[in-house]
Amino acid sequence: MSGLSENVQARLKALAETFASDLPTRMKEIADEAGAQLDASDALVRLSFRNAVHKLAGSAATFGYHSITVVAKRLEHILEETTECGRPITDEVARSIRMLVSELSEVVRRAHSESFGDVEELAEVPEEGAPAPDGTRSVVLMISSDELRESLQSQLEFYGFRIRIVSRLDDAEDLLCQHCRAAVVMDVERVAKDPLLVEQIHRIQEDVSRSVHVLYVSDADDFDTRLLAVRSGGSAFFAMPADVHRVIDTIDSLTSGGGGQPFHVLIIDDDNEQVSYHALILQRAGMITSVVADPHHLFAVLIEAKPDLILMDMYMPGATGPELATMIRQQEAFVGVPIVFLSVETDQDKQFRALSQGGDGFLTKPIKPEHLVTSVSNRIDRNRSMRFYMERDSLTGLLNHTHLMQRLYTEVQRAARVSRSLCFAMIDIDHFKNVNDTYGHLTGDRVIKNLSRLLNDRLRKTDVIGRYGGEEFGVVMFDVTVDVAVAVLDKVRIAFEQTTHVAGERSFSVTFSCGVAGYPDFDGPGPISEAADRALYQVKRTGRNRVGSDTSR
């Protein structure tokens, strides 16, 4: 168990011991419900009994009591058939139920004296990597193109990256060891000529304490070259002449450690022990977890948590997992959130029916902790990547206009529900047409890109930033008053005014104007955005290069 901290190990042991100590009580409740079911024709009584048996089967699987799970699943199967058909219980079925309840009671009695199960497996659960001591991200450049190397060096250094230019990877291993978040930009031809270099790259990448990504560049852009890059540990490939801004964006994304936003998983399950167990596993891997035990609270938690993935049991009191998945998919805001069922259910027909009702995957208990973490993180990672290209502006990587306004709508709803303030800011680069006319559209794009990076750098990770259109940007700031938003954005304005932009041999500076409005001064996303637009117009009409606000209805 050396891979686990003593605190985590103690919490897991406590969960397993709690389950073991509660086994006799759970079994008595099941036996009592069995008697009630056999004496009643009420479908709700049957459903409650089936759910109790299902929970026991799932918890037993989680904590390593295989014998309990096997008998409980046999009993659950009979109960499902009687519940689904709705017919009275025959004498033969009643005898089978009594026999299985008796057998389950005996298995539970024997298991109660045994030690708990497979907590030892958790030693393999990956733990979120620690950041470099000084927060610096490193980039090693091993590329033959002088133009690309010089452009990458100057711009990456501007954004705070530590750069080292080498001809041999040996000369950079000390730097890669010092910083757990690093990237190497390399000509793919180097690995084509030196198989030992490939082994060295794999050895560096296998060190779990570090996250080293290799980005390959090449004059060739064919299948074999790209396959070589993948086999040589490549995270990205760029055909020459490479777009410097795309390379920088990729380096930034790969070394950002998730951009400061850990994966957020919503667990929907009414079994407290299993919820605690799975939540602890995911939290140990650096994820945030929220929990819904009562399905009636589902949508309030969904709106508040905005999860990256929903992990859901198949059977709960009041609603089944597939029913909840269907309800979630009927809400436009949650259509793209992956739903994964985590259940002891092994019937493939039922699994596929669940998937047809809105699920994206099915995991069967018991599941190894490292498999749970990998499955969840891979799905979230892929979904975030797809959402990025669907929701983001291609130049800046910020939210596009449609999704910016969707986020404003949901954040205003959240602010009203929890009685908090919210601000929306509209930013417009001053005299941007003159920049394009004087220095060209490519330089204009770099100015837009520089402002987007500045906004990302200076604002909170929780603030929502989007490209409203052209040279206009929008920012949603939750739990912030108008006065505070104005002060924060004015500091960004000053920093942008002091930024030097380069076009060939010439350099210049640019300013922006900003208008701010918010909730509760204005009620609803429409009135708020209109008020911010009015404030922006007033700033531009009275001299530009200022942050103004509109707080009057």
The CATH number of whichever domain residue 249 belongs to comes to 3.40.50.2300
Residue 409 within a domain: yes
Say yes or no: 413 and 521 in one domain: yes
Final residue of a domain: which of 385, 411, 434? 385
Cα-based angle 43, 44, 45 (whole degrees, multiple of 5): 90
The residues, ordered by sequence, that sit 6+ positions from 163 with a Cβ below 8 Å of its Cβ are 138, 139, 140, 141, 152, 153, 156, 157
Say yes or no: 189 and 288 in one domain: no
By CB atoms closer than 10 A (0-12, 13-18, 19+), residue 365 is buried
In the chain, how many domains are there? 4
Residues 11 and 2: their CA atoms lie apart, in Å, by 15
Model confidence, pTM = 0.61
CA dihedral defined by 306, 273, 118, 70, rounded to 10 degrees?
Answer: -110
pLDDT the model gives residue 40 = 54
Identify the domain containing residue 268 by its residue range. 264-385
Integer Rg of the chain from CA:
29
Alpha helical stretches, state H, 480-521:
482-497
Say yes or no: 240 and 276 in one domain: no
The residues, ordered by sequence, that sit 6+ positions from 184 with a Cβ below 8 Å of its Cβ are 139, 140, 142, 169, 172, 176, 201, 212, 213, 214, 215
Buried b (16+ CB within 10 A) or exposed e, 373-398: bebbbebbeebeeeeeeebbbeebbb
Residue 396 within a domain: no
Residue 132 within a domain: no
Say yes or no: 406 and 545 in one domain: yes
| Sign of the alpha-carbon torsion through 395, 401, 405, 406 | negative
Local confidence pLDDT in tens for the 553 residues of the chain: 444 455 656 666 677 777 777 777 878 877 777 766 665 555 555 667 777 777 777 777 777 777 788 877 787 777 777 666 556 677 777 778 778 778 877 777 777 665 544 444 444 444 544 444 445 688 999 999 888 888 888 878 877 788 889 888 888 877 777 656 788 999 999 999 998 988 988 888 877 456 789 999 999 999 999 999 999 999 999 999 888 777 887 888 787 654 447 889 999 988 877 888 888 888 888 888 888 888 888 888 888 888 999 999 888 878 889 999 999 999 888 888 999 999 888 888 888 988 888 899 999 888 888 889 889 988 998 888 787 777 788 788 899 999 999 999 989 998 998 899 999 999 999 999 999 999 998 889 989 989 998 998 899 988 999 999 899 999 999 999 999 999 999 999 999 999 888 887 888 999 999 999 999 999 899 999 999 999 999 999 999 999 999 877 6
pLDDT the model gives residue 120 = 41
Say yes or no: 154 and 224 in one domain: yes
Say yes or no: 356 and 380 in one domain: yes
Residue 518 within a domain: yes
User: Helices 525-541 and 401-418 meet at what angle, rounded to 10?
Assistant: 120
pLDDT the model gives residue 33 = 73
CATH number reported for the structural domain that contains residue 433 in this entry? 3.30.70.270
Residue found by looking up tokens 């099941």 in the block: 30
Buried b (16+ CB within 10 A) or exposed e, 416-455: eeeeebbbbbbbbbbebeebbeebeeebbebbbbbbbbbb
Say yes or no: 350 and 406 in one domain: no
Say yes or no: 420 and 515 in one domain: yes
Say yes or no: 240 and 325 in one domain: no
CATH number reported for the structural domain that contains residue 85 in this entry? 1.20.120.160
The residues, ordered by sequence, that sit 6+ positions from 1 with a Cβ below 8 Å of its Cβ are 9, 119, 120, 122, 123
Tokens of 86: 């709705």
Say yes or no: 412 and 381 in one domain: no
Residue 142 within a domain: yes
Final residue of a domain: which of 255, 277, 298? 255
Residue 364 within a domain: yes
Say yes or no: 360 and 466 in one domain: no
Residues 145 and 218: their CA atoms lie apart, in Å, by 10
Final residue of a domain: which of 230, 255, 280? 255
Q: Which residues does residue 218 pair with via DSSP β-bridges, in sequence order?
A: 239
Residue 512 within a domain: yes
Residues 266 and 381: their CA atoms lie apart, in Å, by 16
Say yes or no: 111 and 46 in one domain: yes
Residue 336 within a domain: yes
